[in-house]
Amino acid sequence: MARGALDWIGAELEALDAKGLRRSLEPIGPAQGPVVTVGGRALVNLCSNDYLGLAADPRVRAAAADAAARFGAGSGAARLVAGDLPPHGALEARLAAWKGREAALLFGSGYHANAGVPGALVGRDDAVFSDVLNHASIVDGCLLSRAELVRYRHCDVDELAGLLARTRARRKLVVTDAIFSMDGDAAPLRELAELCDRHGAMLYVDEAHAAGVLGPGGAGLAEALGVQDRVDVHMGTLGKALGAFGAYVAGERRLVELLLSRARPFVFSTALPPPACAAALAALEVVATEPSRRTRLFALCARMQAGLARLGFDVARVASPIFPVVLGSEARALAAAAALRERGWFVRAIRPPTVPRGTSRLRVALSAAHDEAQVDGFLAALAEVLPGLPPPEAGRPG
Ligand SMILES: Cc1ncc(COP(=O)(O)O)c(C=O)c1O
């Protein structure tokens, strides 16, 4: 029975509908993969973050099943209480070695890590400097920290230099996505590291879309650029290229010791389930032993990048399997997603507040499990769909 106190929600949902901003679930089956069943139809999936095709890999699944049998389905408590099971320590040791850091600490998800780690490092007398296109979880973590939040223009090292030079904050934290989740471009980590060195600021890098994908060992953008030692806080997720679930922070042991006592999502939340840890461990083994997956992924990416550029999209800065097909208005992005779906392609419209107003888009993401024919087929379908989209709205970028 609906209660009167919630009556305002009807109008709110209608307003979201009217603006093209209402979201809805889209159940897929039978499992994550390059082709999924949506609404009873098999569609090529171009919107997952399963960049290496590991979410449904038989070895990763088997590791999860085995861990469930040995250690249970859930952890039953926070790590600091009675939830610290063998897969947790084993995965942290493996993550620390992979990242070339002294230690690592697991978090329930990337959102958890970003929401809680800034607050363990900075507070009221401090300042946190955040790229304007950083993921929403970083923004939330910065706000929760109560430090002054200073947002700098996307990848604008010069602006950041000026802001760092002027601040009077006690501690300074610079935080950035490594690969920006909706644009696929890479942060200028070397330049950021230099600025942080010069100004005594801490550097926090979220490798959610780079871990498993970039670098000779797949450890991420910092590894690819050879700046691992200059990043203070290496954050990454286990639910994207690693096909599992959860997140980690890696760094100096004293950092991990502090987070263990101070990061509220670590202290006050149930430990990751053992099957998720075991799945991530198995995925790390694949990342280490099958670099050909990354080579294959980037061959597909080069094909997609060239094709989208031919269609007139600005993808020159893309350095990852994420391609922004920016269409402008919400209506255009929704119409494009619907028309592509009719033709067998599953790619969702990304709208504000996930992306800035006027830049609604399709976010096309590739996986090593896709093939060339799928990339070519998508490009052909997109070319067919574009002329039929609603015109860009007057006064708004198209
Ligand atoms: C850059 C970035 N950081 C963090 C997250 C959150 O990670 P999780 O999905 O593990 O909560 C995401 C998720 O989409 C992301 O894109």
Task: Provide the CATH number for the domain around residue 359.
Answer: 3.90.1150.10
Torsion of CA 279, 281, 283, 289, to 10 degrees: -150
- DSSP letter at 80 equals I
List the CATH number of the domain containing 81: 3.40.640.10
- Tell whether 74 is covered by a domain: yes
Last residue of a domain, one of 263, 289, 315: 289
Assess whether 209 carries a catalytic annotation: yes
Q: Where among 246, 264, 289 does a domain terminate? A: 289
Nearest CA to ligand 1 atom 4: 110
Other beta carbons less than 10 A from residue 165's beta carbon: 10
> Would you call 240 a catalytic residue per the annotation?
yes
The model's pLDDT over 180-196, given as tens digits with 9 standing for 90+, comes to 999 999 999 999 999 99
| CB-based burial label for 133 (10 Å; 0-12, 13-18, 19+) | buried
How many C-beta atoms lie closer than 10 Å to residue 216's C-beta?
A: 10
172 catalytic? Reply is no
275 and 354 co-located in one domain:
no
340 residue type, one letter: L
Name residue 23's amino acid: R
* Binding site membership of 207 for ligand 1 (Cβ less than 6 Å): no
124 is a domain residue: yes
Burial of 200 (0-12, 13-18, 19+ CB in 10 A): exposed
In a shared domain, residues 314 and 347: yes
Find the catalytic residue in 181, 320, 360, 367: 181
Ligand 1 pocket check for 329: Cβ under 6 Å: no
* Phi/psi of residue 142, nearest 5 degrees: -65, -45
In sequence order, which residues have a C-beta less than 8 Å from that of residue 265 and are 6 or more positions away? 107, 108, 112, 113, 115, 116
CA of 239 to the centre of ligand 1 (A): 8
Residue 397: pLDDT band (50, 70, 90) is very low
- As a whole number of angstroms, the longest Cα–Cα distance in the chain is 61
The reply to whether 270 and 314 lie within a common domain is no
Give me the percent of the chain exceeding a pLDDT of 90: 96
Q: Are residue 285 and residue 324 in the same domain, yes or no? A: no
Tokens of 45: 């999936």
Q: Are 48 and 34 in contact (CB under 8 A)?
A: no
What's the pLDDT at 3? 77
> For 211, left (φ over 0), alpha (ψ -120 to 50), or beta?
beta
List all residues 6 or more positions away from 398 whose beta carbon is below 8 Å from its beta carbon.
327, 328, 329, 332, 391, 392
- C-alpha 398/C-alpha 395 separation (Å) is 9
Do 101 and 34 share a domain, yes or no? no
Based on the domain organization, do 271 and 307 belong to the same domain?
no
Q: How far apart are CA 47 and CA 307, in angstroms?
A: 18
351-387 CB burial, b ≥16 within 10 A, e <16: beebbeebbbbbbbbbbbbbeeebbeebbebbeebbe
Are 269 and 372 found together in one domain? no
Tell whether 123 and 217 lie within a shared domain.
yes
Q: Which of 145, 240, 329, 370 is catalytic?
A: 240
- Assess whether the previous peptide bond of 30 is cis (omega < 30° from 0): yes
Determine the residue type at 331.
A
Residue 264 lies in a domain: yes
The answer to whether residue 64 sits within a structural domain is yes
Judge whether 397 lies within some domain.
no
In a domain? residue 18: no
98 inside domain: yes
Q: Same domain, yes or no, for 232 and 135?
A: yes
Both tokens of 105, joined, read 């600490």
Given ligand 1 and candidates 133, 181, 205, 348, which is best to mutate, with the most ligand atoms within 8 Å of its CB?
Answer: 181
Inter-residue contact 259 to 117 (CB < 8 Å): yes
98 and 217 assigned to the same domain: yes
Position 27 scores a pLDDT of 95
- Are 376 and 303 in contact by the 8 Å Cβ rule? The answer is yes
Does position 20 have pLDDT exceeding 90, yes or no?
no
pLDDT in tens, 309-323: 999 999 999 999 999
The residue whose CA has the least distance to atom 8 of ligand 1 is: 110
Q: What is the pLDDT of residues 337-365, one digit of tens each?
A: 999 999 999 999 999 999 999 999 999 99
The answer as to whether 8 is a domain residue is no
336 alpha carbon, distance to own chain's centre: 23
pTM for this predicted structure: 0.96
Query: How many CB atoms neighbour CB 285 within 10 A?
Result: 14
8 Å CB contact between 241 and 273? no
Q: How confident is the model at residue 66 (pLDDT cuts 50, 70, 90)?
A: very high
What is the number of structural domains in the chain? Answer: 2
Residues 6+ apart with CB under 8 A from 148: 126, 127, 128, 169
Residue nearest to atom 7 of ligand 1 (CA): 110
Indicate if 275 and 237 belong to the same structural domain: yes
Domain containing 125 equals 59-289
Among residues 289, 321, 339, which one ends one of the domains? 289
At residue 393, the pLDDT reads 66
321 touches ligand 1 (CB under 6 Å): no
- Please state the rounded mean pLDDT for residues 260-282: 98
Is the pLDDT score of 2 beyond 90? no
CA distance 76 to 93: 22
Q: Which two tokens stand for residue 30?
A: 């039978």
Q: Where does the pLDDT of residue 392 fall: very low under 50, low under 70, confident under 90, or very high at 90 and above?
A: confident
Residue spans of alpha helices (H) in 41-105: 58-71, 86-99
Whether residue 146 is found in the same domain as residue 225: yes
C-alpha distances (whole Å) from 244 to each of 32, 49, 80, 382 are: 11, 11, 23, 31
Start-to-end CA span in the chain (Å): 44
Nearest ligand 1 atom to alpha carbon 238: 10
Q: Which of 350, 343, 353, 347 is nearest to 365 (CA)?
A: 347
**What's the gap in Å between 35 CA and the centre of ligand 1?**
23
